Amino acid sequence: MRITLSTDAPKAAAVDILAIGVRRKKFDKDEELLALDKALGGVLDEWFKDEGFAAKPNQVLKVPARGRVKAKWILLVGLGTKNSDMEAARILGYQAAKASSRQKSAAIVLPEVSPATVRVATETLIGGAYRYAEYKTGTRKPKGGLARCAFLCADAKSTGLKKAIQAGTAVAESVNIARDLVNAPPNDLNPVTLAEFAKTEAEKLNLEVDVWDKKKIEAAGMNLFLAVNRGSAVEPRFIHIAYKPKKSHTKVAFVGKGLTFDAGGLCLKPGKSMVDMKCDMAGSAATLGLVLAAARLELPVEVHAIIGSTENMLGAAAYRPGDVFTSLAGKTVEIINTDAEGRLVLADCLAWTVENIKPDIMVDHATLTGACMVALGPHRAALYTHDSDLAQTYENASELADERFWRMPLDKGLRKQLDSFIADVKHTGGSYGGSITAALFLEEFVGTTNWMHLDIAGPAFNDGPAGRTPKGGTGFGVATAVRFLEYLALDTASDDGDESAATAEA
Ligand SMILES: [Zn+2]
């Protein structure tokens, strides 16, 4: 979608659909709406009454303009009286996209035009227009979709607004890449094809890419990662992508769980819980999406993306409960439940990252536990870290990104659940606090690195549309990570006395 700025008055915008926000149904103080109403012959009051339009948030009224203004359709979007200008912009972008699935062009009138509002409206517009139709054929394949959209504003040459559109586009397109990867069926998206895709996308942006096949992973000694792969006919892949800007004071490593299909291994899942298990690579999708976005935004922060990808299947060589493996970090691990495979893959990837990247901050994204969804519901991710400042910054970032996290405790008291009779550590605990004990297991492998674990099992995948996210893959995590990196970029800029490096978006 091509997104531009235009100084057209609403009535002069020659587009298929003109979207305009309505704060309250009595709009006598809203100049844009008054002017539009005048052009339409004073019909808005009657339309509102006839259709029961009360300007409630997300309420929409779509009416044909019948030649009274240049646009073919008018989309009136309720914003409510209490929502901030940022939230209003998100609502408008999203509803404009939803109402335009059969239209080619749109124009949006934001209640407040600023780089910040244009950025988020761009994100929800591109995100809202997302559809996954790779496997639809013939008449089942949706046609068209919005090709261009303009934000109406006073200054179409504004650099700040143009940059905001670029930033919003980079983020939303990266989110959509993550969605595509999660939605792709597991017979087509496996560790090998995931690595090929990651390499192609990273090389388009001139990023450093290193992909390891099974031999290299064996040579490195990632035995926990390899244990999970034993039951699969497809090779595992270890992927490392590095974005190294010239100017950076901080090195952040993101580690992603990339289980392209999780049958549970010998501790087989029941069919009903297995059907969506292609989504178990959502952490790797987010990790790839965020490094691509960081590079497109040219953020002055060094970003490493590390992905461990395999299937968890039950071939003859499959790993067993009771097996003991020696991790890359040297710790011996007793296997309890083969369906708790993600933490094994992550343990070796985290240990490798600590040793080889030596990041200032290390963040992992993983669809790690069902227990996390029991605790927080399906639309919120768990956030674990000892660093309260880091947690706070990440939560602030998530608000700008329109994603939801909740900080959970790394309760030392639960660590004894992981005591093993024959090895250094068991890889799962008891029935209670399963998301916490998973985090405590990961903590065994991070050394003294400043680390944060994000359990995205719930929000990474939707059974149906939820909020502004679609059914299926959501791309959860990308937008917050980008906002977080932008906060770090502000630090880099102020250290250098250069505010221009981190422009208007924050
Ligand atoms: Zn599993």
Instruction: Exactly one of 11, 278, 296, 343 is catalytic; name it.
Output: 343
- 91 pLDDT higher than 70: yes
CA of 341 to the centre of ligand 1 (A): 5
On whether the CB atoms of residues 504 and 160 are closer than 8 A, the answer is: yes
Give me the sign of the Cα torsion angle 458, 464, 469, 473: positive
Contacts of 45 (CB under 8 A, 6+ apart): 37
CA of 350 to the centre of ligand 1 (A): 18
Specify the pairing of strand 451-455 against strand 381-385.
Answer: antiparallel
- At 226-241, the pLDDT tens digits run 999 999 999 999 999 9
CA of 232 to the centre of ligand 1 (A): 14
Contacts of 416 (CB under 8 A, 6+ apart): none
CA of 32 to the centre of ligand 1 (A): 53
pLDDT band of residue 504 (cuts 50, 70, 90) is: very low
CA of 429 to the centre of ligand 1 (A): 14
Average pLDDT, the chain: 95
- 385 pLDDT higher than 60: yes
pLDDT band of residue 505 (cuts 50, 70, 90) is: very low
- 502 pLDDT higher than 50: no
What CATH number does domain 186-496 carry, 3.10.20.30, 3.40.1410.10, 3.40.50.920, 3.40.630.10?
3.40.630.10
Contacts of 385 (CB under 8 A, 6+ apart): 391, 394, 407, 410, 450, 451, 452, 453
Instruction: For residue 382, give the H/E element and its range.
Output: strand 381-385
Instruction: Confirm whether 320 is a catalytic residue.
Output: no
CA-CA distance, 318 to 54, in Å (whole number)? 59
CA-CA distance, 176 to 335, in Å (whole number)? 36
- At 28-48, the pLDDT tens digits run 889 999 999 999 999 999 999
pLDDT band of residue 65 (cuts 50, 70, 90) is: very high
Domain ranges of the chain: 2-157, 186-496
At the top level of CATH, the class of 2-157 is alpha beta
Instruction: Exactly one of 24, 162, 247, 269 is catalytic; name it.
Output: 269
pLDDT band of residue 498 (cuts 50, 70, 90) is: low
| pLDDT value, residue 310 | 98
- At 258-316, the pLDDT tens digits run 999 999 999 999 999 999 999 999 999 999 999 999 999 999 999 999 999 999 999 99
| pLDDT value, residue 52 | 95
- 144 pLDDT higher than 90: no
CA of 368 to the centre of ligand 1 (A): 8
- At 444-472, the pLDDT tens digits run 999 999 999 999 999 999 999 999 999 99
pLDDT band of residue 501 (cuts 50, 70, 90) is: very low
* Alpha-helical runs (H) found in 270-387: 271-274, 282-296, 342-356, 370-376
Average pLDDT over residues 352-376: 97
The two tokens of residue 288 are: 């790839």
| pLDDT value, residue 491 | 78
- 83 pLDDT higher than 60: yes
Instruction: Confirm whether 119 is a catalytic residue.
Output: no
Average pLDDT over residues 184-194: 98
| pLDDT value, residue 182 | 98
